[in-house]
Amino acid sequence: MTLDQLPEIAPPQKPSQLTQPPLDSWRSPKLDYDLAIVGGGIVGLTLACALKDSGLRVALIEAQSLEQAAARRQAYALSLLSGRIFEGIGVWPQISPNITHFQRVRLSDADYPKVVEFRPEDLKTEAVYYGAEHSVLITALQNCVRQCGTVNFLCPARLISVDYQPQAVQLKIEMAGQVQTLRAQLMAAADGARSRIRQQAGIRTVGWKYWQSCITAVLKPEKPHQNIAYERFWPNGPFAILPIPHNRCQIVWTVPHTKAETILALPSDQFLAELSRHYGNQMGSLTLVSQPRLFQVQLMQSNCYVRPRLALIGDAAHCCHPVGGQGLNMGIRDAAVLAQVLQTGFEQGEDIGELHLLKRYERWRRRENWLVLGFTDFLNRCFSNTFLPLVILRRLGIQILQTIPPLKRLMLRLMTGFLGRIPDLARHSVEK
């Protein structure tokens, strides 16, 4: 069964004002879509939205309903570059009023009194970072996709199988109890760290699981958080406090596995007592808003991001330690770069599923992602120990960072995404 037999989800018609491909273009009228994106999370949605004016016909396949996908209780540290990408897409006006703009980020080593403090004036920006809830980001992106004439949002739809062919990729999906087949020039896998698509394509990964697990929870402090974020490094692992709207904070608390399970099993009052010892008393007493969640921490990098007719983005391609809040931001940049590469190739009449074109995306992003993966691994290993010579060196490093502004700006540029090559979607905002 093919999608042209199912009018209710037929591929959208290309608006007449969009750029037509050259007459000798690779595009085949027998294909249902130019691009099929598997995974309707934030990264997959970002890719679809970034291509909304490209002229490419896009199918976005998501297994969960819109409501289920938006219901996740989680917040992220959103980088300045991610904000610029969302501005370039056109969703920033919906996002910006509903997130916090960090006015300070304070980095410290356990109970050592010296701190590194990052401020907006360090980069001459309106904020150091942003605190964004999952529901805010994904709802804005979902609304954008549903208004795109060239994007067909197949949701909920479950991917059953994939068949890579010389000129196309064929996907079987189950939607509304029916098995349907669609053909596209390229498939982008945004299906997460356990990506079935990556595994079935035989793409190997390198990396390791850390000795740590991460506890997350949303809290409401007694006193205002004043849009100040904290990253405290303890011998067991980093402890981050992210301010979010309505005077709430999300904590990202990294500790060894056994200790994490013990903490998670504590009654609420004992959990809060243990938490307060790490949190500090700068915001008064704490109240739990959401139940704590636990996930294991890992570093992972795929040996390649692309194969003929396939591109990996986001957690399907790489995962990093949560220190520094880099994971989601790496995926958003993946989406922006892949969109740029595909749009440029399409405008030049190239086959967007060909390996030589997709390698442009891989060369750009894989090298930059290695830098972030190495940086987060170094931070975690450097601070998560009590080896005295290293303790002395890292505390000296904190003093140096705080007293040498160019070095502090360099670190902040790495953390906010501006150290690497800037995608076109964000460039106009950066250069203002």
Q: The CATH number of the domain where 33 resides is what?
A: 3.50.50.60
**Is 31 inside any structural domain?**
yes
**Is 410 inside any structural domain?**
no
Tens-place pLDDT, residues 321-338? 999 999 999 999 999 999
Q: How many residues would you count in the chain?
A: 432
**Is 172 inside any structural domain?**
yes
**Is 50 inside any structural domain?**
yes
Sign of CA dihedral 316, 336, 127, 286: negative
Note whether 175 and 156 are within 8 A (CB): yes
- φ/ψ bin of 90: left (φ > 0), alpha (ψ from -120 to 50), beta (otherwise): left
Sign of CA dihedral 159, 165, 169, 174: negative
Of 201, 202, 168, give the one whose Cα is nearest residue 352: 168
**Is 339 inside any structural domain?**
yes
**Is 416 inside any structural domain?**
no
> What's the CA gap between 299 and 228, in Å, rounded?
28
3-state secondary structure 351-390: CCCCHHHHHHHHHHHHHHHHHHHHHHHHHHHHHCCCCHHH
> What's the CA gap between 389 and 349, in Å, rounded?
58
Identify the pLDDT of residue 18: 32
Identify the pLDDT of residue 201: 97
pTM (two decimals): 0.91
Structure tokens at 417: 């995404």
The list of the chain residues with pLDDT below 70 reads 1-30, 428-432
Identify the pLDDT of residue 419: 87
Structure tokens at 118: 């990052």
Q: Structural domain of residue 188, as residue ranges?
A: 3-72+135-205+298-382+421-430
Structure tokens at 424: 């076109």
What phi, psi does 366 have (nearest 5°)? Answer: -65, -40
Identify the pLDDT of residue 427: 83
**Is 262 inside any structural domain?**
no
Structure tokens at 392: 């002395």
Count of the separate structural domains present in the chain: 1
**Is 249 inside any structural domain?**
no
